[in-house]
Structure formats: structure tokens, C-alpha cells
């Protein structure tokens, strides 16, 4: 029998800076029990089947990494075109706590990889402009250097990034369609 996980309190969902900003900028004085229950449903700790399907269907996404001083970098990641009829997916979700994406040849600056080496924290942003969905995933990344690990999915990849998923949440899509003409 599956046991129900106890609800997390606000300090398990938000970090201290988010809590300070909420107090300073939000008109809401306090999160009530109903709102905290909603936050527990919104901020997941693993990828469910529906979300995995959404992720694996995206042709591109954005990643954010930071160096050991907290200096940030944001990058676009997308599929590598294939000569075959089958276009590879941009991300693979092998289980609810893991996702993997390829690293292709780039500008040889290695901003993201360099950041991951010194600071594994990573944020991923998936946006589907047609359905106005926005998904965020936060976790810890590591570099897989064995080119053969996922060559069946991404034959042109030089290496892969594996993300240990810590936080998964869809959030406000209000301005997506207003920002982009589809």
C-alpha cells in the first residue's frame, strides 16, 4: 500500500530569499493551509508520466547554470538535425528523478559545462508556445563523458548531461501568447 507523503512546509518548498521577497513584495500576509496544500501539489519532487511526455516532446529548452561565485549563464539547447527521417528528442527522461540531454559541438567556450564542473546546480525551462505551457525543473547536473552512453538516441553528441531532479513545476503562462505571435 502506498503511503501518503506528509505535506512540506514553506521552508522545504522555497529558499530563504524567496520567503524574504514574498514578505517584502506580496500583499498576502500569510500562506493559509489551503494555499500551502496547493503549493505542495504544484512544486513536485519528481517527473510524472504526463510531464515526461511533455518534456520529451519539446524541440528546445533553456538551461541556467552558475559558477562557484554565483555568476550565471543561460543557454539555449535544441535538437541536432538528423539526415534520417527520425529527428532525435532534445531530452530523455529515464525515470521520475532523472533527465538526460546531449551536449553537441559549440563555440568551445564551455560556459555551461565549466559551471557544472564547479557548481552542479542547474535550472531548465521548457516553453511550448502553441499550448502556452511553461515548465521549470531544478536539480543537480553531472557530465557523462562516455560518448556511447546514449548514442542510440543522439549519435552526434559529444557527451551528455544527467540531471538529478529536485524540483518540478509548471508556472504562470499568462504572457506567453502575448509575447510571441504564433
Return the CATH class of domain 49-179.
mainly beta
Domain with CATH 2.30.110.10 in the chain: 49-179
Q: What is the pLDDT of residue 178?
A: 54
Q: What is the pLDDT of residue 83?
A: 65
pTM assigned to the model: 0.87
DSSP assignments along 29-83, one per residue? -S--HHHHHHHHHHSBSS--HHHHHHHHT-SEEEEEEE-TT--EEEEEEEPPP-S
Cβ atoms of 116 and 161 closer than 8 Å: yes
Calpha distance 182→166 (Å, rounded): 32
Q: Is 124 helix (H, G, I), strand (E, B) or coil?
A: strand
Q: How many residues does the chain have?
A: 182
Percent of the chain with pLDDT over 90: 56
Pairing of strands 92-95, 98-103: antiparallel
Any residues with CB less than 8 A from the CB of 178 and at least 6 apart, and which? none
- Going residue by residue through the chain, which has 182 residues, state the pLDDT in tens, using 9 for 90 and above: 445 567 888 888 888 898 888 888 887 667 888 888 888 888 999 999 999 999 999 999 999 999 999 999 999 999 877 666 667 889 999 999 999 999 998 888 899 999 999 999 999 999 988 888 899 999 999 999 999 999 999 999 999 999 999 999 998 766 666 555 55
Amino acid at each position: 500500500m502506498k503511503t501518503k507523503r506528509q505535506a512540506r512546509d514553506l521552508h522545504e518548498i522555497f529558499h530563504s530569499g524567496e520567503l524574504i521577497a514574498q514578505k517584502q513584495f506580496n500583499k498576502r500576509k500569510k500562506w493559509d493551509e489551503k494555499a500551502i496544500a496547493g503549493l505542495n501539489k504544484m512544486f513536485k519532487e519528481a517527473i510524472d508520466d504526463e510531464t515526461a511526455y511533455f518534456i520529451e516532446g519539446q524541440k528546445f529548452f533553456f538551461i541556467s547554470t552558475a559558477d562557484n561565485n554565483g555568476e550565471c549563464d543561460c543557454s539555449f539547447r535544441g535538437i541536432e538535425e538528423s539526415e534520417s527521417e527520425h529527428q532525435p528528442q532534445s531530452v530523455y527522461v529515464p525515470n521520475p528523478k532523472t533527465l538526460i540531454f546531449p551536449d553537441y559541438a559549440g563555440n568551445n567556450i564551455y560556459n555551461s559545462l565549466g559551471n557544472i564542473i564547479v557548481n552542479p546546480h542547474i535550472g531548465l525551462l521548457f516553453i511550448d508556445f502553441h499550448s502556452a505551457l511553461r515548465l521549470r525543473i531544478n536539480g543537480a547536473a553531472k557530465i557523462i563523458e562516455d560518448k556511447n552512453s546514449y548514442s542510440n538516441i543522439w549519435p552526434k553528441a559529444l557527451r551528455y548531461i544527467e540531471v538529478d531532479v529536485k524540483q518540478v513545476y509548471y508556472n504562470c503562462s499568462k504572457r506567453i501568447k502575448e509575447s510571441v505571435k504564433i
